């Protein structure tokens, strides 16, 4: 059995939009490019044909990957967790006790993780350490740079 894919409602909608775009826009465009390149004659030395076929393979691979993720998607909702306790879908304000820096992250599944957008994976060192914790908890987290200490300020 395949492993479940944890997604927020918004993440699932983004994947569905991407899948629709791939199927309705990119797939037909690449089929057209292949037909055009094929019409130019000898395929054995046709770089445009080879490039288009490679791109078609990448598009088809991405379609299959997204379809598989959606097939095994489990929607996470931070609102169903116990108030004040970090769970999937929660947003967490915390402070790095070593540097004094403050951070706000949403805990999401690996598919949606994007640090620049303020989303960390539940499988990342900090995301995993935060799960099940409460406001004002102080925890030590093993990160690639060593061990850091953080204090949870707010869970919402």
Alpha-carbon distance 118 to 110, whole Å?
13
Token pair recorded at residue 39: 């019409």
Nearest to 11 by CA among 141, 114, 142: 114
DSSP state of 85: B
Is the domain of 147 the same as that of 128? yes
Per-residue pLDDT at 119: 97
**pLDDT tens-place string over residues 19-65:** 999 999 999 999 999 999 888 877 777 888 999 999 999 999 999 99
Average pLDDT of span 130-147: 95
Is the domain of 22 the same as that of 68? yes
Range of the domain at 64: 5-75
Q: What is the pTM of this model?
A: 0.78
CA within 13 Å, CB half, 1: 4
Average pLDDT of span 86-105: 95
Cβ contact 113:124 at 8 Å:
yes
**pLDDT tens-place string over residues 73-89:** 999 876 655 678 999 99
**Domain end: 44, 75, 106, which one?**
75
């Amino acid at each position: 059995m395949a492993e479940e894919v944890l997604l927020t409602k918004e993440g699932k909608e983004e994947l569905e939009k991407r899948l629709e775009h791939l199927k309705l826009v990119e797939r037909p465009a690449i089929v057209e490019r292949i037909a055009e390149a094929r019409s130019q004659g000898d395929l054995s030395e046709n770089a445009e044909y080879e490039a288009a076929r490679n791109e078609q393979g990448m598009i088809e691979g991405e379609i299959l990957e997204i379809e598989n993720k959606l097939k095994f998607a489990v929607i996470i909702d931070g609102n169903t967790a116990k108030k004040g306790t970090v769970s999937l879908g929660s947003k967490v304000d915390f402070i790095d006790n070593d540097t004094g820096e403050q951070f706000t992250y949403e805990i999401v599944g690996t598919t949606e993780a994007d640090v620049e957008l303020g989303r960390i994976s539940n499988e990342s060192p900090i995301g995993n350490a935060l799960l099940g914790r409460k406001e004002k908890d102080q925890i030590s987290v093993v990160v690639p740079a060593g061990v850091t200490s953080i204090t949870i300020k707010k869970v919402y």
